[in-house]
Structure 1
Amino acid sequence: MTFSYRSRVEWMDTDAAGIYHNSTVVRFVESAEAALVREWGLGSVYFPRVPRVRYEVDFLAPLYFGQEVTTELSVARVGSSSLRFDFTVRGAAFDGREAVVAARGSYVVVHIDRSTGQACAWPPEWAERFGGQLASVREGLSPNSAR
């Protein structure tokens, strides 16, 4: 199952050359994760209990201010208290440039008991949702986004 989320490189995402800053990948990926978690119906309970414990990114190509981006996110592994997500960030053809795979990577989140801060097993109903098949695209484009 791959979940796709579309957004755009905004001015705040770029450096002085107008190219996206490496930290933007994390924002793209976490926006996709938030949309997926809402799709699972866990939006209000998931994030306070699921910190990121590992992030790995390969930066492959630049993205530019105004360029449309699709972030593809998939659950690669469900552990007893962890999830590993794999992701690909793709830039659409833009301003005479071809479409590109801009970044690829993975990250791990762990479910914690908020009172102890220790890892704990996923609630069974959550684990069920992690394994479900979702094929959907969510729009992150605002009506005022540059085209």
Structure 2
Amino acid sequence: METFPEACVERTVEWVDTDASGHQHNSAILRWVEAAEAELFRSLELPDYFPSAPRVQQVVNYKAKLWFGQRITATVKVSALGRTSLTLAFEVTSDAGDVAAYGTVTTAYVPQGATSAQPWPEHLVRAVKAERAGRITE
């Protein structure tokens, strides 16, 4: 069974992250997940991932509210690596350890100048599947 890498970031829910109800805005979850995703691909030394990996699907399941000033942890883990797509599973937890949101983000490899998905470059596949991959924390 392959072990895929994961990364997490810790953040504080800022005023800009909240909505009129006083809890996190739905978009804040994806910003925190993207920060963890960036940490993951920086740690894998794959700076060329982002310009060529548009989102093709995002699924977010909201379970609990997060409030201004609360600390959160966003964790992402590669859950599937296909020929042209990559799926990250994520979880955002509160400082009490409660899951506030979870889901998946799927990207496809579309290199600059291409109009459709292409097979992932070999260096990315090797880096994502490498044994050294484990948990990375910012």
Which TM-score applies when normalising by structure 2?
0.90
Select 2:92's aligned residue among 81, 89, 92: 89
What's the Cα RMSD here? 1.2
1:136 counterpart SS class: strand
Residues in 2 aligned to 1:47 and 1:117: alpha-carbon distance in whole angstroms: 16
| Length, aligned pairs only | 132
- Show the 5 A alignment for 1:38-117: 38-43=42-47, 45-93=48-96, 99-117=97-115
- The Cα of 1:65 is off from its aligned counterpart by 0.7
- 2:28 is equivalent to residue 30 of structure 1: no
What is the SS of the residue equivalent to 1:84? strand
Q: After TM superposition, where is structure 1 displaced by more than 3 Å over at least 4 residues in a row? A: none
Q: Percent identity?
A: 36
- Give the aligned residue type for 1:9: V
Q: State the AA in 1 paired with 2:102.
A: R
Q: TM-score, normalised by structure 1?
A: 0.85
* Correspondence for 1:135: 135
1:91, distance to aligned residue in structure 2 (A): 0.7
Q: Which runs of 5+ in 1 are unaligned?
A: 94-98, 139-147
**Cα distance, 1:34 vs. partner?**
0.6
Q: Cα offset for 1:16? A: 2.3
Instruction: For structure 2, list consecutive stretches of 5 or more residues without a partner in the other structure.
Output: none
